Amino acid sequence: MSNSDLSGKTVLVTGASRGIGAAAARAFADAGARVALVARSREAIAELAGEIGREALAIPCDVSRYWEVDQAVRATVETFGSFDVIVNNAGVIEPMGALGTTDPEEWSKAVDINLKGAMHGMRAALGPMLQQGSGTIITVSSGAAHNPLEGWSAYCASKAAAHMLTQVTDREYRGKGLRVLGLSPGTVATQMQKDIKASGVGPVSQLDWSDHIPPEWAARALVWMCGPEADAHLGRDVSLRDEEIRRAVGVA
């Protein structure tokens, strides 16, 4: 486990109801942080907040709506008194399939969550972070941000755009005390991978379950990325496929 001590820090995680988001919420809490859990699934985040205890806050929120994300950030600051880390983790893989067969409305929804959701998190976090002169903004990226994958036009395009957003935001705000970076975890054993497997679309659907890393590895990486050891990666995606990174994180 990373040695990062986040005692007294406040972390907001989007898409916190399951998968990487839920694992990250637990990992940040274990590292001493107060955690705001954001997702559309009200019951799931309430249950997780109950499991974590008094230092967790469940906030039902649709990241595709900026005002909801802004309210979630405000509620977090009001409850915990600071705002130190945001993890833009909420994401969807659908629609999958060749572009010519894809519903344009569903394609747009993927952009609303994967790209605009990340922008909404960044934009809402900037106020309190700039006010205190520090903060870490992490967006969960993907190998799909850098490699075209057949049948994944919405996911690849939205993740590539989110990666560029990370680079631009780093360039604009690193000099003001903010740390902005992405995590490319590789394939992770979550519900999303089950959906991909069931679709039969693209090369990732052909992988065995044993090929995927556990979500706890991604969670440990996110905690590690909040410390100074990750400063060399600001403005970039940290790849959990990299053995050197895995050793640093403690999951090699």
188 CA to centre of own chain: 13
Per the CB < 8 A criterion, the answer to whether 89 and 38 are in contact is: no
Catalytic residue among 155, 173, 217, 224: 155
End-to-end CA distance of the chain: 11
User: How many Å apart are CA 61 and CA 43, to the nearest integer?
Assistant: 12
87 CA to centre of own chain: 5
Per the CB < 8 A criterion, the answer to whether 45 and 28 are in contact is: no
Output the six-digit token pair for 30: 């274990």
Roughly what angle, to the nearest 10 degrees, separates helices 153-173 and 104-111? 30
Which among 51, 60, 59, 61 has a CA at the least distance from the CA of 29?
Answer: 51
**Whether 155 is catalytic:** yes
User: How many Å apart are CA 174 and CA 234, to the nearest integer?
Assistant: 8
Residue 244, Cβ density class (10 Å: 0-12 exposed, 13-18 middle, ≥19 buried): exposed
Residue 67, Cβ density class (10 Å: 0-12 exposed, 13-18 middle, ≥19 buried): exposed
* Total Cβ atoms within 10 A of residue 7: 8
Say how many residues make up the chain.
252
Q: List residues with catalytic annotation.
A: 155
